[in-house]
Amino acid sequence: MSIVALTSAVMVPAGLAYPAGASPDRTVVAAVGDSYLAGIGAGRYDTLDGCRRSLRSAPALLARSQGAQLVDLTCPGATIVGSSRRVSALPRDADLVVVQAGGNDIGFATLAGACFLAGTSTCLTTVREGHRRMPDVRGGILGLVRQIRLTAPTAEVVVLGYPRLLGSPARCRSLLSADRVRAVDRLQRTLDRVIRSAARTAGATFTDWPRSIDRASLCSADPWYAMPGDRLDDLLHPDERAHRVLFRHLNSVVSR
């Protein structure tokens, strides 16, 4: 990666990364991962190094609240391997690294198409394939956290699970059949357990998205997600409200 590309990959413009008058080297908050952490769905986007990111994402809000420099290495569509390739751009003195990865490794995008647009058989087959990839996710998260620790040895590393997309079959009756809802929910719960186990084994802090976001699932009366009518590649991503709640939750986790 060239110096110009590397600089654009890691630096959010100073006026957006921390409040006016704050010291840019007081704290370094970094984010590594996929579109959920990049804030796709939250609006007010910036695009650097080919990756679209929201200035309303939870990491961006956290950095601004702490008067911190934000090193944003998230990228929509990133797998664990793709995220690992960006870790070399972490500054050695990073204080906090927030990680969100694994969803693309089990095929979240394919799963959405299979379960919302195709038949039940296609959905269940895709879910089974997601389960088969779980050992790779665990190994990948272990490797990713260890790589972060080598690159930024004093950083606190916080690994996120994923918000619950659907909720109970009863709440989703008008959206999906009960067997599809249960299958997707089991897959998500398994993914969170695998990520939690790997993060803790690697010595990182695991935290899930708050339950209030889970209650505002796609099947709720007022989903906290980008919905039809929003930008197409924002669909099924948590919106600005969800990221504000996640920010407050992360702030409490890292302030303990």
pLDDT score, position 7? 31
Whether the model clears a pTM of 0.85, i.e. scores above it, the answer is: yes
pLDDT of the residue at 22: 37
83-110: pLDDT as tens digits: 999 999 999 999 999 999 999 999 998 9
Give the confidence band of 252 by pLDDT, cuts at 50, 70, 90. very high
Q: Which pLDDT band holds residue 229 (cuts at 50, 70, 90)?
A: confident
pLDDT, tens digit, for every residue of 110-130?
998 899 888 899 999 999 999
| Per-chain mean pLDDT for the chain | 88
Print burial letters for 158-177: b (CB count within 10 Å at least 16), e (below 16).
bbbbbbbbbbebebbeeebe
Q: Which domains does the chain show, CATH number per domain?
A: 3-250 (3.40.50.1110)
pLDDT band per the 50, 70, 90 thresholds, residue 21: very low
Range of weakest confidence among 68-77, 117-126, 169-178 = 169-178
- How large a percentage of the chain has pLDDT more than 70? 89
